[in-house]
Amino acid sequence: MNLIEQDPYPTDSLSQPRAVVFLAYPQMGLLDLTGAQTVFWAASKAMAERELPGYTLHTASLEGGLITTAEGLSVHTTSLHLFNEHAVDTLIVPGAPNIRQAMIDGVALVDWLRAASPRARRTASVCSGTFLLAQAGLLEGLRAATHWAMCDMLKSGFPTIDVDIDAIFIQQGTVWTSAGVTTGIDMALALVEADCGREVALQVARELVVFLKRPGGQAQFSQLLQSQTDDSAGFDELHLWISANLSEPGLTVEKLARQAQMSPRNFARVYKRQTGRTPAKAIEMFRMEAARRLLEDSQRNIDQIAQSCGFGDEERMRYTFQRHLSISPREYRSRFSR
């Protein structure tokens, strides 16, 4: 899900730092911008210690000058037109709380992005910045991530995009997208790892006191919380019952339908319409979330966790983790155990 492709331009073959351009616009999210910027800044320091080229960072808007963020802080920017003829390694587009208005006001910015992206080695977005990539036509037919609260909006506005509601960041060729706000840090660490290697990325993560890299597929938020915020209030009691009975291996549609006091056929249809998932998919996600909590917080062995969460055995749980998170339960525990 979040495999990092080998960089065709390894850093030790470069004589100059890589140019990373952050696209700025009014009312963008401040942390969307500065989180990823800090990662690249720290990586440049780490590379300088090794007497290797790192990055040059540029915050640029259409006309340059001061840009006021959604939080009220103004950021000095250079003009994007300065980069029309200069080589850009990475373009990064931050999001905005009011992305609808940003899309309306940012037509010229999107036009610039559409023309500049093919000239850059890669293009990335943070949080709702994914919408600007989508508006530029850079995500057609691709999987993409954005803030969990905006996934439905992205799906409806751009139906050709395969929106992944669970992923923290996704790489599709030369295009990277990340989920809500701080996931831009995770994505930036992955970009640094692809460029500079794991040792440098680990040094940056230690300096910033963050995980080296949360798996790109790690869930953005609680499945139970999602079930309570979706248009699915009628299934709240069922979801609580599921959470309390995950160890039962036979949580079939028929059993869930009886618990919901509905016929199996009607239950399966209504559940999928209101939650966006089939009952089987929902059970799998609830089980995986429960297993993640136990891997993080308990001393129980992997097989015991698999049994208690209803996977049946360790192998089935490992397959589910690999399919959704691109990481095994043991690797997950080594990264996130408290």
Q: Is pLDDT of 204 > 90? A: no
Cβ neighbourhood burial of 264 (10 Å; 0-12, 13-18, 19+): middle
Report percent pLDDT > 70 for the chain.
88
State the DSSP string of 256-281.
Answer: HHHHHTS-HHHHHHHHHHHHSS-HHH
Q: Which of 199, 200, 201 is nearest to 212 (CA)?
A: 201
Cβ neighbourhood burial of 315 (10 Å; 0-12, 13-18, 19+): exposed
Neighbours of 300 (CB within 10 A): 13
Does the global pTM surpass 0.85?
no
Condensed to tens digits (0 to 9), the pLDDT of residues 219-244 reads 544 454 454 444 545 788 888 888 88
d(CA 76, CA 138): 27
Tokens of 243: 């959470």
Neighbours of 312 (CB within 10 A): 11
Tokens of 167: 């992923």
Q: Is pLDDT of 108 > 80? A: yes
Domain architecture of the chain: domains with CATH:
11-208 (3.40.50.880), 223-336 (1.10.10.60)
Q: Which of 203, 194, 202 is nearest to 176 (CA)?
A: 194
> What SS3 class is residue 312?
coil
